[in-house]
């Protein structure tokens, strides 16, 4: 699936009983859950296969997170969450790819805009 196809929907979840496994076994909100507008979200936790210190991420190739992050409010923050071994020196990226604003691993935080780690 290329850029521009498919969009994620966001839902309010207050309890794990409001979720069920999808076809890949990943827990998702039930369709009857309250949908939330992308512009109402302040913080996005963004999974990835790998990240680099500039904030680029390697996902699974569907572009879902890139499309969502491209539409988030400027004051919202995106946080890449992963293990330290998932950090790469650099990753390839295209015009439609979106950086994360912060990366968190078990070793600490990496601030791509500040270029350092904490």
What's 54's domain CATH number?
A: 3.40.50.10420
* pTM score of the predicted model: 0.83
Pick from 59, 45, 62: nearest CA to 7? 62
CA distances (Å), origin 110, targets 1, 57, 97, 117: 30, 13, 19, 4
Expressed as residue numbers, the domain containing 110 is 38-117
At 53, phi and psi to the nearest 5? -70, -10
Name the domain count of the chain: 2
Contacts of 13 (CB under 8 A, 6+ apart): 19, 29, 33
* Pair (50, 89) in one structural domain: yes
Mean pLDDT by 10 residues, the chain (118 residues): 67 92 91 91 94 93 90 95 95 93 96 67
* Pair (32, 43) in one structural domain: no
- Give yes or no for a contact between 72 and 13, defined as CB atoms under 8 angstroms apart: no
Q: Is residue 113 part of a domain?
A: yes
């Amino acid at each position: 699936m290329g850029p521009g196809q498919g969009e994620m929907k966001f839902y309010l979840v207050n309890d794990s009983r409001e979720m069920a496994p999808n076809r890949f076994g990943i827990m998702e909100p039930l369709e009857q859950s309250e949908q939330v507008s992308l512009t109402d979200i302040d913080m996005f936790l963004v999974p990835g296969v790998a990240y680099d210190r500039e904030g680029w991420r390697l996902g699974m190739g569907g572009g879902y997170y890139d499309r969502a992050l491209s539409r988030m409010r400027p004051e919202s923050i995106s946080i890449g969450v992963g293990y330290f071994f998932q950090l790469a020196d650099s990753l390839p990226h295209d015009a439609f790819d979106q950086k994360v604003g912060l990366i968190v691993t078990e070793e600490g935080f990496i601030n791509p805009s500040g270029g350092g780690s904490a």
